[in-house]
Structure 1
Amino acid sequence: MNACGLRQLASFAAIGVVNTGVYYAVYVTVNLQTPYLAAHAMGYAFAMSVSFLLNSYITLRTKPTWRGFARYPLSGVVNLLVSGIMLHLAVSALDMDENLSALAAGLLATPLSFLVARWAITAGRPSTPPANGTIRPRVHERQR
């Protein structure tokens, strides 16, 4: 992975930490008035939306799209499945501690989750300037 990819992975991981706090804040607040599973679902949905926006703007420095938003939850599914498989193997096959294994599995699954998130957000976007040689100005330059 090149320097840009490593920067993006570090940003993705940092946003994941922030996002955990967002989830928990929403969960605790909503749980004051609703059952805990409903609070969990609302906190998760809100945190996933915040994560998508932060990763679009900060990690990948791109404008979010509805198509990317629809694909973005796949990164969470990949993380859940891969970390779950790693957790199971660590505990059942390697006889590792369940709590440490959960942390290790989550950390080890993060790079794959990042790759899926990056694909979800950026798939279908042009990676090179238009073929006719014109260079499109950045959004903030067009608004002047």
Structure 2
Amino acid sequence: MNKLLAGQGVRFLIGGGANTLLSYVLYWVLLLWMPYAWAYTISYALAILSGFAISTWFVFRASWSWLNLAAFPLVHVANYLASLFVVWMAVEILKVPKAIAPLIATVVVLPMNFILTRKLIHRPD
């Protein structure tokens, strides 16, 4: 693995960890007022916006692009569907507490998230 990719991977984990923590706090707060699927959907949507900023400036050190911002949610449709499926399986089939099911989804979907995000934002040097 080259140094550039390794550095991006480390920054992706740090930035993603901060963004994930923010989205989980929002998810847990929203659970007080709504079903888990709605809480997860809202927190996920807001995390897309903060995730784009983190990925652009911190992870891949790229220039802001309105086109990439517009495409970023489309890339995350695949991540959303995959992670919502994992959340559903964890809660409904594996009987994992709904408050921690998104943690499992994050671990399962993380590699796909990095690959798709890098492909969209990173421009080869």
Give TM-score, length-normalised by structure 1. 0.56
What is the rounded CA distance, in whole Å, between the counterparts of 2:21 and 2:114 in structure 1?
19
Partner of 2:78: 77
Partner of 1:106: 108
Question: Alignment length, in residue pairs?
Answer: 106
What is the rounded CA distance, in whole Å, between the counterparts of 2:30 and 2:66 in structure 1?
26
Question: Does the 8 Å CA contact 2:15/2:58 hold for their aligned counterparts?
Answer: no
Deviation at 1:50, TM superposition (A): 1.1
Higher relative contact order (CA 8 A, sep 6+): 2
Question: Does the 8 Å CA contact 2:48/2:76 hold for their aligned counterparts?
Answer: no
Please list the CA deviations of residues 83-128 of structure 1 after superposition, one character each: whole Å capped at 9, or x if unmatched: x7xxxxxxxxxxxxxxxxx68x738x52x532320121246xxx67
| Structure 1 residue ranges without an equivalent (≥5) | 85-101, 129-144
Please list the CA deviations of residues 12-31 of structure 1 after superposition, one character each: whole Å capped at 9, or x if unmatched: 12222222211111112233
Larger gyration radius, structure 1 or structure 2: 1
Cα distance change on mapping 1:63 and 1:29 into 2, 3 Å = farther
Q: Percent identity?
A: 23
In structure 2, what residue type is equivalent to 1:77? A
Partner of 2:24: 24
| Structure 2 residue ranges without an equivalent (≥5) | 87-103
Please list the CA deviations of residues 23-72 of structure 1 after superposition, one character each: whole Å capped at 9, or x if unmatched: 11111223333443322211011112111111111011123323212332
In structure 2, what residue type is equivalent to 1:45? A
Partner of 1:15: 15
More helix by share: 2
What is the rounded CA distance, in whole Å, between the counterparts of 1:11 and 1:46 in structure 2?
20
* Corresponding residue SS for 1:33: coil
What is the rounded CA distance, in whole Å, between the counterparts of 2:10 and 2:24 in structure 1?
22
CA RMSD of aligned residues (A): 3.4
